Structure 1
Amino acid sequence: MLLFLHLLLLVVVVVVAGSDGAEHTNNWAVLVCSSRYWFNYRVGSFCLQYRTVKRLGIPDSNIILMLADDASCNPRNKFPARVYADRGRHIELYGDNIEVDYRGYEVTVENFIRVLTGRMDPSVPRSKRLLTDDRSNIFVYMTGHGGNEFLKFQDNEEISAFDIADAFEQMYQKKRYNEIFFMIDTCQANSMYSKLYSPNILATGSSLVGENSYSYENDNDIGVAVIDSYTHHILSYMEHINKTSHLTMSDLFASYDPSKINSHPGVRTDLFNRPLSQTRITDFFGGVSQVEVRPPPASPNEHQHQHQQDQERAPLPLRAASPTPESADVTRTSVRREVRAWGAVTILAALIGWAGTRK
């Protein structure tokens, strides 16, 4: 019985240690707007995701922002250096400290894949790199114009659902993530996560295959639509989330209302290994304080003591050594201690065996 209790305690310790290792230690966000030109102003409202993740604690150093066009500096913009997400212009998305990592013609399929997989030229600065590891949770958000299993980049090239799936698999093989939350807003968006096959990925899209994703409202002063319906819904929901919120991904997905979004958002969970009801929204949208436990610095006295020990352990030059009474006493003492230790082990083993035979 005693032996069984010892084995049970060992199993509990191993299980607890394994569960601690499964938690993530840092959050990252990769935000991509693949459309350009003034009439795609509403696509630029994806900056609300940038605004949200920064508000919830993810720093700019952990955000990769890819913006194909800068509507804030467009000559047609009546409100220079501003991008709004509603007709009343209550929510300004750019702010004063936005950091765009890839701008204009830097936003390409190749650069996006390189960011995800880490296959970067040595000259690329750290601010343009996704410096993740196997303890990182990554939020990947994409928006633009697309179709069945493809998303256009600046009306010049396309990325397919296969490309994204293979990029995520490379990330998994290279241990570049713990979990990924993939969100995409485009026409037929749900087709873009249909080819994913890597573990620990949660995905959602704004519309079914064969279904369009529509804009929400226009602003007469700006002259174009300012936000998409799906994006507007996400913004409205996330505005009520704070850093300490206990709302889960299940709550977020339950808030989807096709009659308000004007499309049917989808969710894919078969690759994800956690219940959505136990996965907080801030596990992907919020910041994580990275803590590393280190031993306390040694005091000067400890340094001196360690130095003396190192000197005592240093090998001495070979010479004829004659035994002394003191060394003989030390030898006899060490032998007696060793005999007592083995005797204690033998007695303990006998007691365990006796306890195991009792009914």
Structure 2
Amino acid sequence: ATRQFQHLMWRALLLVSVALPAALSSPLDVEDKGQVWAVLVAGSNTYDNYRHQADICHAYQIFHRHGVPDSNIIVMMYDDIANNPDNPKKGKIFNKPGGPNVYGPKAVPKDYTGDAVTPKNFVHVLTGNHEAVKGVGSGKVLKSGPNDHVFVNFVDHGAPGLIGFPNDVMHADDLIQALKTMNKQKMYKKLVFYMEACESGSMFDKLLPKNIEIYATTAANPHESSYACYWSDELSTYLGDEYSISWMEDTDAEEKHKTFSSETLLKQYNNVVNRVKDSHPSMYGETIIDKDHVQDFLGKSKQKVTFYSESSSELEPITDAVPSRDVALHVLTKKIALAETADQKEELQKKKDYLIKGRKDVDQIFSRILSHVTNLEIDEIKNIETSRQEINLEMMPCYKTLVKAFSEKCVNIHKNMYTFSHLYKLANMCALQYSSTNVLKAFSAECGSLHQGMVNVN
């Protein structure tokens, strides 16, 4: 009996000795021996949009801290903030006043920067099309497989059914098609998508299938702005976005208090909803995934967290949030208040006056277009201006045509972000089945070369 007991003990120890290294071999392992992959995208440029790249840099530091290797992380950002002439802290980016440098301590990978930050390259990265990005940036694309968990984080401006890139836009149908392609190619077991943008809910609402193992949350519902926050007098800009800093600071706080390993996606979502007071974070897709743990998509906590000291229940309220589309106006107002000389105040006031006039010009352009399209029918104009028609796939060809033509014939939407606040009117006309030909004629009649030269109306 003793010999049999010793044999059983020896066998048990042998099994443990074999199993233990396998269990501890990688902090990335998710169920079924899969890995964690991440695609992190900031779709904007210019110093006024500092916060978008700050959000993405912070997200990268979380993945790096969790032991996810750079080979599994793909970062797209214009990279014009850290060494921007307007940045008094050269070589550094901050996501919170008094917070750490998120451009370090581990240098953020620069996989796709500058003009390589495009919707097409984003799709190539997501769908693993390495041939299409040969010689572009790092050329890295997702190489994930059917047992892997993929996390996608996009941060920028948005409008109904589209999100912004530095010199282009991505429409909802193209994003949904890319995600469907990933599913068809078995590029993930489960995918989580966090999106920060105005009207970001419209990219998924009634569009994202509920049967392709994708769970998405957004900063805003389909009809509202998202919000910037964390103004810095020293850096003269907003350092974060309300939704983005909420999920990342929640992650940091849960780690610090050693509760991260048990936190579910639903708990994090609820924590974000409770902290974001100015928009309505929303959930889409296969929502049953919210019972999974956050660490299955962000990697497992393995280092001491020094980013922030608050617990998730003690994170301070966000008190300075402003609509993302009004950031440029708020920045100038604050700069005027901080200006030390009369000359500085005068120069800044001129910029603010130009911005306000440019916004009024854009308002008037859209008013003239609607009057032209509707033959001055007041009820029709009111319906286009006040309703929020649902985005659907059938209207996308019309919407794409109108957005592109407006940017080319009227006001460049990529250089004048205020235009995004009016794009819902183009979406409404398509959804209400107005003739795109007639709308294009209105563009030709009501827009001129003067408008085409407008810049920095943000």
Q: 1:283 aligns with which of 273, 296, 318?
A: 296
Q: How does 1:130-279 map to 2 (within 5 A)?
A: 130-154=142-166, 156-194=167-205, 195-197=207-209, 199-242=212-255, 245-257=261-273, 260-269=276-285, 271-272=286-287, 274=289, 276-277=290-291, 279=292
Report the AA paired with residue 207 of structure 1: A
Partner of 1:331: none
Task: Identify the match of residue 49 of structure 2 among 40, 43, 55.
Answer: 40
Match of 2:371 in 1: none
Q: Which amino acid aligns with 1:184?
A: M
**1:207-254 CA distances to partner (integer Å, 9 max, x unpaired)?**
112211111121111111111111221222011234961111121012
Q: What is the Cα deviation at residue 203 of structure 1?
A: 0.5
Inter-partner Cα distance in structure 1 for 2:266 and 2:72? 25
CA distance in 2, matches of 1:126, 1:222: 30
**Structure-2 residue corresponding to 1:3:** none
- Match status 1:129 vs 2:127: no
Q: Aligned partners of 1:260, 1:99: CA distance in 2, in Å?
A: 29
Letter in 1 for 2:208: L
Per the alignment, in what secondary structure is the counterpart of residue 32 of structure 2?
Answer: coil
2:82 counterpart of 1:69 = no
Q: 1:22 to 1:98 in 2, by over 3 A?
A: closer
Corresponding residue for residue 26 of structure 1? 35
Q: How big is each residue's C-alpha offset from its partner over 1:168-219, in whole Å with a ceiling of 9 and x where there is no partner? A: 1111111111110011001011111221225100000001122111111211
Classify 1:133/1:168 alpha carbon distance in 2 versus 1 (closer, same or farther; 3 Å). same
Letter in 2 for 1:152: G
**Which whole-Å CA distance do the structure 2 matches of 1:166 and 1:212 have between them?**
25
Question: Could you tell me whether the CA contact under 8 Å between 1:24 and 1:137 is conserved in 2?
Answer: no
Alignment-mate amino acid for residue 223 of structure 2: G
C-alpha separation in 2, matches of 1:79 and 1:231: 22
Name 1:295's counterpart in structure 2.
Answer: none
Give the distance between the partners of 1:282 and 1:219, measured in 2 at CA: 31
Distance 1:68 1:126, change over 3 A: closer
- Cα distance in 2, alignment partners of residues 108 and 168 from structure 1: 17
In the superposition, relative to structure 1, how do residues 261 and 127 fare at CA in structure 2: closer, same or farther (>3 Å)?
farther
* Matches of 1:201 and 1:30, distance apart in 2: 15
Which segment drifts farther, 163-172 or 259-268? 259-268
Matched residue SS, 1:183 = strand
- 1:8-23 → structure 2 map (5 Å cutoff): 23=32
Q: In angstroms, what is the RMSD of aligned CA positions?
A: 2.3
Native 8 Å contact 1:258 1:265 kept in 2 = no
> Which of 53, 68, 90 is the matching residue for 1:80?
90
1:107 aligns with 2:120: no
SS of 2:254's equivalent? coil
- 1:26–1:246 Cα change, 3 Å: same
Matched AA of 2:89: F
Letter in 2 for 1:212: S
Residues 235, 22 of structure 1: alpha-carbon distance in 2 compared, 3 angstrom cutoff: closer
Cα 1:217–1:23 shift into 2, 3 Å: same
* 1:22, distance to aligned residue in structure 2 (A): 7.0
Provide the rounded CA distance (Å) in 1 between the counterparts of 2:278 and 2:238.
15
Change (3 A) 1:51 1:118: same
Q: CA 1:259 to 1:207, structure 2 compared with 1: closer, same or farther past 3 Å?
A: same
Cα deviation, residue 288, structure 1:
11
Instruction: Return the letter of the residue paired with 2:37.
Output: W
Residue 43 of structure 1: how far off its partner (Å): 1.1
SS in 2 for 1:208: coil
Residues 181 and 202 in structure 1, CA contact (< 8 A), matched pair in contact too: yes
- Report the Cα distance in structure 1 between the residues aligned to 2:150 and 2:275, rounded to whole angstroms: 30
Identity, % of aligned pairs?
Answer: 28
Name which of 59, 80, 104 aligns with 1:49: 59
Indicate if the aligned counterparts of 2:43 and 2:156 stay in contact, CA closer than 8 A: yes
* One-letter amino acid of the counterpart of residue 178, structure 1: K
Aligned partner of residue 159 in structure 1, secondary structure: strand
CA change 1:259–1:252 in 2 (3 A) is closer
Partner-residue secondary structure (3-state), 2:91: coil
Shift of 1:99: 1.2
Rounded Cα–Cα distance in structure 1 between residues aligned with 2:35 and 2:185: 17
| Aligned structure 1 segments of 4 or more residues deviating by more than 3 angstroms | 21-24, 122-127, 241-244, 257-261
Unaligned ranges ≥5, structure 2 = 1-29, 303-458
Q: Matches of 1:94 and 1:157 in 2, distance apart? A: 25
SS of the aligned residue for 2:262 comes to coil
How far apart are 1:127 and its partner, in Å? 5.8
Higher RCO (CA 8 Å, separation ≥ 6 residues): 1
Distance 1:140 1:161 in 2: 15
Q: Give, in angstroms, the shift of residue 54 of structure 1.
A: 1.4
What is the CA deviation profile of residues 13-38 of structure 1, one whole-angstrom value per residue up to 9, with x for unaligned ones?
xxxxxxxx973510100000000011
> Is the partner of 2:124 in helix, strand or coil?
helix
TM-score normalised by structure 1 residue count: 0.69
